[in-house]
Structure 1
Amino acid sequence: MADSVVTFLLQNLTQLLSQESKLLGGVGDQVRLLQNELSLINVFLQNTEGKRHDNELVKKVVSQIRDVAYEAEDVIDTFIMTVIKHKRRCKLTKLIHSCNRAMSFHEVASKIERINNVIKEIYNNRSKYGIEIAESSGGDTEAEVKLHRRRRYVEEDRVVGFSHDTEGVSPMPKLRKFILKAELKEELLHGLEVNYSSNKDKLKGTLIEDLNGIKAMNDEECKKALFAFLEHIRDHKFKKSLSGFMESIYRKNGQGWQDLDDDELKSLLFKCLENKRYLVVMDNIWEIEAWNEVSVAFPTNSNGSRVLITSRIKEVALHASSLNNSIPQITPYELPYLDEDKSWELFSKKVFGGGTCPQELENLGRQIVKSCHGLPLAIVDRSSCMDILALSYNHLPRRLKPCFLYFGIYPEDFEIPVRQLIRLWIAEGFIRQIGNRNIEDVAEDYLEELIDWSLIQAATKRLDGGVKTCRIHDLLRDLCISESAEEKFLEVCSDIKLSPMSKCRRISIHFANHPYISSYPCESSNIRSVMGFGGVVGLESPLGKGYYLKLLCKSNKLVRVVELSNMAICCVIPKRIENLVLLRYLSISSGVRHVIPNSICNLWNLETLDKRNFKIKYLPEGIWKLQNLRYLYLNGSTSLPRTDNKAGLPNLQVLAGIDLNLNSMRLFARARFPNLRKLGLRSSASGGSIDIDSLVLSLSTIQPLRHLQTLKLCEFIMALRNKISLQLTKITLLDLKGCGPFTWGVLGSLANLRILKVVGCGMLTLDCNESSFCQLEVLKMAKVTDSEWTMEKGAMPRLQRLVIERCNFKTMPLDELWCLSALRDVEVLHPDPELANML
């Protein structure tokens, strides 16, 4: 993918030139020239984005740019790796290799100069081959035309799933009411829009059939109304769309209108419609800008005129329905997916013409329907659906395309952990920093956009309402894999088909396969990411413990991402891990106790270190050298190393699974983690007991921990008496003991606490006074036994969600809970008989 490769390379070059210029030595000038050339190429890519799919020449040029950008990335990364390796040598070894280093500088300078010449030639040839880049276009004209030709309007008696929405209300009578209710004179045009956010083109056939049927009604005023149907409204097709509309009004040849500019055409159309009643249906609007351009041409004449738009993009529908502040915003009508019965009904009508499915084919037919997950397009035509989905992908914003293609690394029907996905996106360089916003929040916005585009589905939600896991439809996954192969973005390998190694930058190994791994080429410098899923490699395997990482350290020294925690293999970190100097993400698992070598602390780019499935007692002393580390996940029994200097981890956002002991307390007291947002602690397993009050007091009095939002405490003796001054929004308490009324009162006094989880605790005294938990929105209690819960009026005024799972309460404030006006969602799972009777 040329766009993401060039953007990521530019970011790396900018960082090198500004922060690590010493590494470049005598090739700094060539690197700056490369940066300038790539900046021009980036503008070229941005302005030719909409022409790649219908112009083979542009497509070929973009492919050349991608290849030369990959080559430039390899040259720069290899050079940096060589320089860092040289810096680690002793003085004598440096002297011995000084000649080789000089030759290396000269060789790299020559390679960069040649790459600069190639880029310059590509850019200069754009005029030679007639490639215009003055005007950006987000369209895909040829694909749209093909799609339009293939679209079939179905008869109304073959329409399924449009008779009623999820609330049992039919949308068509509502639509007729908006179109025909002429007495609404005072309403403005934008307030009368009926917005259909049609994520899978489920609307088209019935809508057109029904609207055309309006002309046959007895309403004489309706018969005199002007009707126009405009499709695929785009900014670059604006003049053509409106000229056709004016021609349909006057039944004249619209050729002369082509001489008018956009503003003149809008003005002329506005005058033509000013005293008329009209119905305009604008189908398949993709962009907010396109709607803004077209909408000003329609007058608000308060005579019953209507505008109806459809869009696959929820953001477009929301924008169109909220343009005028004088009227309430209209909620777009979102068509639901088909349930199993409706899916089978549609399949039967399309395949058997409304007849009965033969008994011998029913099992196979139902399997096909089930695989479509309620998506009508997949049921009607799986093959043509790929073209439609590709059209959606082609119109994605540039920043979202690599994020979407990345879903191809996961196996089919895999439930994807969102937090892990975000860490991978960040390590891959897909997320751009926006002002002072946290980069994790920006990544979540990217995911929400992909969900709004209906390309990704939210599977489960977190307690705070965010997406916890997501999934991708198998058809869309196939699209990701096919597009990725064409773009050399990633390759999926399984033990069923051992494809030869390509020049893809990422490989995803499904079902760990010894022959495949052992056939790994030793000079595969193009690989930047290695992911694995499934499979079993026993501890007695002939490959040996740690074989995977040893092989990577030998053959793929430029790798940035290693994600093997989803594979059932034993990974032991080798001492040669320091060879992976560009590594940003390392997540592996091991079933044996293991000592992490101190050499891992030389990975100066490392951002994520995930060892939750590792039995580690101590972290290496040099861990403080990892200044870029953002996420550190441990198994709960790991101790932080001692340090007497002022070393710290300034960029650390998440620290989880730490064994809390006196040394950890000292580190917190010295503010070694100033930007920490999430902290997970386990009571010391070394025998030294920690006073939880002392812990809370030490955390509360450290000013640099002002960013801490989430605290997770496991296996503590909770006897809180001191007030917590931290601005915590979420607290999780696991397997606690001795949580008395003082503790609950301290928790209830937290002014910003929104989410509280209590799991595996017994004999609690939950006493909520009238001012307790003033901001609490979510309360989850699981496996809480032999406890007493009382609550005064006024407590938990903002509580929206209550989850009680496998709990046993001696007393419970049911009446007070039911009186909470904000409470919307109550889940009681596996209650004991007493609690069931109380409910």
Structure 2
Amino acid sequence: MAFVVVTSLLEIVEQQLIIQPNPSLILYNKEMIVMLSQKLRVLRAFLMGSGKKTNGSCGEEMLEAEIRDAATEAEGEIESKLGQVYLAANRGEDVVVACQGLHQTLVQVVRDFEAIESRILTQNANNASRGSSTNDFREESFMVGGLSENAVETENEIVVGFDHDVEEIVYRLVFLKQSGKREVIALVGEGGIGKTTLAKIIFEHPSVIDHFHIRAWVVVSREHNLKEMLISLLNCIAPITSEISNKDEAQLAEQLCKRLMSQRYLIVLDNVWTTTAWHAIQQCFPHNANGSRIMITTRINNVARDINSHLHIMKYQSLRNSQELLSRKAFRGRFYSTPIYEYFRDRILLQCRGLPLAILVMGGLLATAKGSLEVWREVADTVELMTRDDKIISRILSLGFEYLPSHLKACFLYFGIFPEDSDVPAKKIINLWGAEGILKQEKNKSLEEGAENCLLDLINRNLVQVNKLSIDGRIKSCKIHDRLHEICVREAKRENIMCVIDEKHDPQASRWISCQSSHWPITRACCGTHNCNKIHSIFYFGKYLYPSKCRLVYPCLKLLRVLDLSLIKCLHGMPSEIVDLIHLKYLALSTIGSLYKLQLLKLQNLQTFIVSSWMEDYPLQLQCNILDLPQLKHLRLEKRCSQYLPSLVRENLQTLYWLKVTSLDRNQNFRMVPNLKELGIYIEGELLSGCVESLVHLRLLEKLKIEIGRVEQFYLPTAFPSKLKKLTLHSTYLPWHEMGIIGKLPNLEVLKLKDFAFCGPEWNPIGWEFQDLKVLLIAHTNLKRWNANFQHFPVLERLILRYCWDLKKVPIGFAKIRTLKLIELDSCYSSIVTSANQISSAKILSFHSMSDRTLHVRHFGTKVEWPNNESSEEES
């Protein structure tokens, strides 16, 4: 894809040669480098213009191919020469010869792009008669609107036409008297008809939540993995430790069966393709004679029948429901009922055949038109020209991709790297886009902010789905429907930008390598037969691999930027050759042992570094100077291998988990990392008063976690950063009267108090504090009396109480909080559940507006309430 390569090359030229050149570089002609940057911007503008057209001319396609090939070759040559400079500098050698080689390469690249630029001008002259000119191409803003404009309504997903289905299935799950045996209900229908959406609505239905002791959900997929399925189901019941995840399938199956025994459970198996997957896991579900249920979603009737399930056949949307769904999506609640819009709408819907996924993708496409009748007409004409056959839905879905701007096409195709039905963390995809160089940083915005806008744009177009939300309602992870995933993979392969390696396909030289086999794809043999210099990214998604003797990386991967080995269990630190991958920007590892001997500081371009241990008994041993890497933005380590603050100011650093603070650190100087946005602090040993006072200087910090290890006393700082939005305290054992320091924070939205973060029998909040707090979580505390009312938490939306065994009730004054929508209780006494329900009833009587009245009470397990209140036994 020409746009990806040109944008990536432009990022190299501007970041590594103009804005932040390596100190070892000798740049002989800076004016020529600026000229190269300008020419690349012209090429990118041309590609953005041609990318808007769904049917470009043959000349434009040939010119795009020429630009792609020239930019690919130039990128490889420039990065190779830069690599020679960096390696010479690391070895203490003279860099003059290497810099001369880089200069000669840059001269030739400028000449090549001058020739292409002249052909663009010729193309412009040929297009002048059609009213299109390359001179009119201007670099558009990479992000379509700001965050507020692109905000996605994740809480109120547009759902139409499922009311009867929900009522029928909830009745069957909860109220219909059965023989007591375990029953299986199958939602059957075409891909994109709404099976998973319906299952989620039912899974979160209040009656279902109240009825079942345990609810668990797992995505099965086409190529099912029994171990991953078992771990996912266990994780729905209790947090997974590395000890559990390292067990074999038989041990995991036995543990799951024990957890479900004697419990009334609801298990959802989403996207089942074969009966083999069912037979592999169904033995883990005990035949409790208590009304336990299993719900599956499948496209295949025979699978549902072979499982001996009750079939619920999904219906296509009626014309009326289809009209409502498209209009609500296209106009975002502003309904235009003029005859001309209805005419184009109905022409489009005729081809969508009542399939919700196709309707939503078309609605997302039309929403970007902002009411332009010209676009509505063009889309209607395009879909009407499609031949009505079995592939028409696939072609309609492809239109959602074809109408994307060039930068969003690249972002969308990147989802093809992940296996079908993958749950993709939002932060991960954002950091990967940045490492790949496929996005350009905007003025007054970080690259991450721009990438988040791109993700929101794809979600609003219904090309990407929100999968999980964080506790404060932000997007935690996302996924892509498997019918859209097919388009991702197909288009990326067609552009020769991605290669998926599985048991059926061998490695091929592509920019992105997605390994989904049980073997490491890159060997010395394939290095001799393929041009591996084209490879920029390698992801390993296969079954767990133990590389005890094999070498994972080779000199042929010298241009690698992204290496994700998080599913490979490295035994001794990490492969030593990795430190020679000097262009690496993203590195994720799962390992045990020591990394002390590795020269990690050679990775001068590294932006994201993620390291975890796959065995709890073998903590990592890591160098303490990793924060000295000049380009590092995001560092995620385990608490036991925490880092110390750097010796020099590092303005790039945005994310740091974890920072270690000990008795030797008398005064942490957080001015060394002034632009941190997320920080985790782990404290061990005796802590001196005022040790973390300089936290207040982190003027951009939005998220802070503080966890205590072996510490006698923790001293709360007298002030926190004013922009702090999320604060988590863990095992700090603070008295409740010190809560006033936190309550004064002007922007605090989420407060999590875990494992006796605050302790003592009584909390008396002060009025007009916590003015912006939306989410409050308290887990494990000895609090008995909580004297609070609506003035203390005026905009609270969610209250979560877990293992609060001394607290008997929720303050009745919370009934007057207009914004309160959810009270979630986990393993608390039944008296708290009763008080929460009383608050819900009182709230209905307090406010006239239905939006102010709605308050859901959810409880998961109730602590047995013995007369002496001394037993810690739980029912569930």
Shorter-chain TM-score: what band?
A: 0.5 to 0.7
* 1:2-47 per-position Cα deviation (integer Å, ceiling 9, x unaligned): 1222123223223313542873645766655544443332232233
For residue 387 of structure 1, give the secondary structure of its aligned residue in structure 2. Answer: helix
Task: State how far apart, in whole Å, the 1-side matches of 2:21 and 2:91 are.
Answer: 19
CA distance 1:52–1:28, change in 2 (3 Å): farther
Task: State how far apart, in whole Å, the 1-side matches of 2:404 and 2:132 are.
Answer: 18
- Is the 2:810–2:832 contact (alpha carbons within 8 Å) kept by the matching residues of 1? no
* 1:53-74 per-position Cα deviation (integer Å, ceiling 9, x unaligned): 3534422321221121111111
CA distance 1:657–1:283, change in 2 (3 Å): farther
CA distance 1:747–1:530, change in 2 (3 Å): same
2:307 match: none
1:746 aligns with 2:741: yes
Within a 5 Å distance, the mapping from 1:581-730 to structure 2 comes to 581-590=582-591, 592-597=592-597, 599-613=599-613, 619-620=622-623, 622-640=625-643, 647-662=648-663, 664=665, 666=667, 668-669=668-669, 671-684=671-684, 688-691=685-688, 694-700=690-696, 703=697, 705-715=698-708, 723-727=718-722, 729-730=724-725
CA distance 1:661–1:814, change in 2 (3 Å): same
For residue 757 of structure 1, give the secondary structure of its aligned residue in structure 2. Answer: strand
CA distance 1:49–1:433, change in 2 (3 Å): same
Higher alpha-carbon deviation: 705-714 or 519-528:
519-528
| Shift of residue 829, structure 1, vs aligned partner | 3.4
- Is the 1:764–1:788 contact (alpha carbons within 8 Å) kept by the matching residues of 2? no
1:7 aligns with 2:11: no
2:250 match: none
Name the amino acid aligned to 1:487.
E
Unpaired runs of 5+ in structure 2?
137-158, 168-315, 332-336, 347-359, 373-387, 837-876
* 1:625-658 per-position Cα deviation (integer Å, ceiling 9, x unaligned): 4222111111112243587xx6122211111122
- Is the 1:27–1:108 contact (alpha carbons within 8 Å) kept by the matching residues of 2? no
| Shift of residue 612, structure 1, vs aligned partner | 3.5
Which of 27, 33, 39 matches 2:41?
39
1:485 match: 493
For residue 609 of structure 1, give the secondary structure of its aligned residue in structure 2. Answer: strand
Task: State how far apart, in whole Å, the 1-side matches of 2:720 and 2:50 are.
Answer: 54
Task: State how far apart, in whole Å, the 2-side matches of 1:390 and 1:116 are.
Answer: 32
For residue 706 of structure 1, give the secondary structure of its aligned residue in structure 2. Answer: coil
| Shift of residue 385, structure 1, vs aligned partner | 1.8
Task: State how far apart, in whole Å, the 2-side matches of 1:535 and 1:564 are.
Answer: 12
| Shift of residue 743, structure 1, vs aligned partner | 3.1
Name the amino acid aligned to 2:674.
P
- Identity across the alignment (%): 25
Aligned alpha-carbon RMSD (Å): 4.0
1:498 aligns with 2:505: yes
Name the amino acid aligned to 1:661.
T
1:280 aligns with 2:340: yes
1:521 match: 527
Within a 5 Å distance, the mapping from 1:818-829 to structure 2 comes to 818-829=815-826
- Is the 2:756–2:780 contact (alpha carbons within 8 Å) kept by the matching residues of 1? yes
For residue 756 of structure 1, give the secondary structure of its aligned residue in structure 2. Answer: strand
2:843 match: none
- The higher relative CO (CA closer than 8 Å, separation ≥ 6) is in 2
Name the amino acid aligned to 2:609.
L
CA distance 1:470–1:517, change in 2 (3 Å): farther
Name the amino acid aligned to 1:648.
V
Which of 464, 470, 473 matches 1:465?
473
Task: State how far apart, in whole Å, the 2-side matches of 1:669 and 1:35 are.
Answer: 38
Task: State how far apart, in whole Å, the 2-side matches of 1:683 and 1:51 are.
Answer: 56
- Is the 2:613–2:620 contact (alpha carbons within 8 Å) kept by the matching residues of 1? no
Name the amino acid aligned to 1:81.
G
For residue 746 of structure 1, give the secondary structure of its aligned residue in structure 2. Answer: helix
Task: State how far apart, in whole Å, the 2-side matches of 1:57 and 1:165 are.
Answer: 54
CA distance 1:438–1:167, change in 2 (3 Å): farther
Within a 5 Å distance, the mapping from 1:221-370 to structure 2 comes to 279-282=339-342, 312-313=363-364, 316=367, 320=371
Higher alpha-carbon deviation: 748-757 or 738-747:
738-747
CA distance 1:420–1:133, change in 2 (3 Å): farther
- Is the 1:624–1:648 contact (alpha carbons within 8 Å) kept by the matching residues of 2? no
- Is the 1:618–1:641 contact (alpha carbons within 8 Å) kept by the matching residues of 2? no
- Is the 2:501–2:521 contact (alpha carbons within 8 Å) kept by the matching residues of 1? no
Task: State how far apart, in whole Å, the 1-side matches of 2:789 and 2:102 are.
Answer: 75
- Is the 2:786–2:811 contact (alpha carbons within 8 Å) kept by the matching residues of 1? no
Task: State how far apart, in whole Å, the 1-side matches of 2:744 and 2:699 are.
Answer: 17
1:400 aligns with 2:408: yes
Which of 61, 76, 80 matches 1:78?
80
| Shift of residue 715, structure 1, vs aligned partner | 2.5
CA distance 1:713–1:72, change in 2 (3 Å): same
| Shift of residue 512, structure 1, vs aligned partner | 3.8
Which of 750, 754, 759 matches 1:759?
754
* 1:393-429 per-position Cα deviation (integer Å, ceiling 9, x unaligned): 0111222111111111111111111111111111112
For residue 686 of structure 2, give the secondary structure of its aligned residue in structure 1. Answer: coil
For residue 514 of structure 2, give the secondary structure of its aligned residue in structure 1. Answer: strand
For residue 723 of structure 1, give the secondary structure of its aligned residue in structure 2. Answer: coil
2:770 match: 773
CA distance 1:770–1:720, change in 2 (3 Å): farther
Within a 5 Å distance, the mapping from 1:125-204 to structure 2 comes to 126=123, 135=132
| Shift of residue 662, structure 1, vs aligned partner | 4.1
- Point out the structure with max Rg over C-alpha: 1
| Shift of residue 518, structure 1, vs aligned partner | 6.2
* 1:560-587 per-position Cα deviation (integer Å, ceiling 9, x unaligned): 1112214444473345444222111111
1:556 match: 557
| Shift of residue 725, structure 1, vs aligned partner | 4.0
1:418 aligns with 2:419: no
| Shift of residue 317, structure 1, vs aligned partner | 8.1
- Is the 2:515–2:521 contact (alpha carbons within 8 Å) kept by the matching residues of 1? no
| Shift of residue 167, structure 1, vs aligned partner | 11
Higher alpha-carbon deviation: 767-776 or 725-734:
725-734
Name the amino acid aligned to 2:768.
S
Task: State how far apart, in whole Å, the 1-side matches of 2:51 and 2:109 are.
Answer: 26
Name the amino acid aligned to 2:341.
V
Task: State how far apart, in whole Å, the 1-side matches of 2:411 and 2:7 are.
Answer: 14
- Is the 2:752–2:776 contact (alpha carbons within 8 Å) kept by the matching residues of 1? yes
| Shift of residue 314, structure 1, vs aligned partner | 7.8
For residue 565 of structure 1, give the secondary structure of its aligned residue in structure 2. Answer: strand
Task: State how far apart, in whole Å, the 1-side matches of 2:544 and 2:361 are.
Answer: 49
- Is the 2:776–2:800 contact (alpha carbons within 8 Å) kept by the matching residues of 1? yes
- Is the 1:461–1:469 contact (alpha carbons within 8 Å) kept by the matching residues of 2? yes
For residue 386 of structure 1, give the secondary structure of its aligned residue in structure 2. Answer: helix
Name the amino acid aligned to 1:279.
P
2:460 match: 452
1:507 match: 513
* 1:417-458 per-position Cα deviation (integer Å, ceiling 9, x unaligned): 111111111111233322212332222211111111000110
CA distance 1:419–1:2, change in 2 (3 Å): same
- Is the 1:802–1:826 contact (alpha carbons within 8 Å) kept by the matching residues of 2? yes
For residue 532 of structure 2, give the secondary structure of its aligned residue in structure 1. Answer: coil
- Is the 1:498–1:516 contact (alpha carbons within 8 Å) kept by the matching residues of 2? no
